[in-house]
Amino acid sequence: MEQVLFGIVLMVEVALAVYCLVTKQRHRKVKSLVRVAVFIVFVMLTLLPGIEWSFSWIFCASMLLLLAVTGMLQLIRQPKANPRVFKRSAIVAKAILMLIVLTLAFAPVLLLKLRTDDMNLVIDSVVENATKGNGPAVYQLIDPAKIGVFGHSMGGAACVWLGRERDGIGAVLNLDAPLFSELRYDPETGDFTAANEAYNIPLLNIYSDDVWKQLGQNSAYAANQTAGANFR
């Protein structure tokens, strides 16, 4: 879903830019309506099973909300005459800037998904070679029933995420990473809190001094504080 939504948003922005270039108009009203509609669709997907809301979506949601609010303001206020000459270069430049900003907003979601997909590919390859019996000798030293994963920072967050999604992971070692997969948004507090879901795989968290100071203060690390309640 992450890649699909990202692709749709980019295609919408490209289509708007092409439409403006072909018609030689700015079409601010059309842009505003489309961006409001995109945000509404995003909200509907978060309320439905389409998107599982987590900390990694906050930048994307904030950007889409900003575009929607800006669009609503442009629709509400009275249009003013704009004597400026239509410039193709300005349309192209704004479109490129918008694509870059949207890519950065989607980056946290896409990077975690890409990391877990890459890790799944590697593990699948290792397990396949280990169970063949006729693969390279090094794979014969691997027990497919005893696979652990570890990573630092975003890699650590991806490992924790993979431990929840994939069967067959025996242990997870996390270095300095917030447990993004274990965070949920609490509308009552307007902040992120730990998900009340048991994490049944052995997990070892190791922190540097700088990260240790953030525990209990930064809501991004809210799930890291619940080892006693949710981690068995």
DSSP-derived secondary structure for 135-189: S-GGGGG--TTSEEEEEETHHHHHHHHHHHH-TTEEEEEEES---GGGEEEETTT
**SS3 state of residue 192:** strand
By residue count, the chain amounts to 232
What is the C-alpha separation between 92 and 90, in angstroms, rounded?
5
- Identify the DSSP state of 33: H
pLDDT in tens, 23-81: 888 888 888 888 888 888 888 887 776 666 666 777 788 888 898 898 888 888 766 65
- Contact (Cβ atoms closer than 8 angstroms) between residue 29 and residue 70: no
**Does the global pTM surpass 0.85?**
no
Low-confidence ranges of the chain (pLDDT < 70): 1, 49-55, 78-85, 226-232
CA gap 58, 181 in Å, rounded: 13
E strand spans, the chain: 147-152, 169-175, 183-186, 191-194, 203-206
Query: What is the average pLDDT value for the chain, to the nearest integer?
Result: 82
Q: What is the pLDDT of residue 60?
A: 83
Helix or strand or coil: residue 12? helix
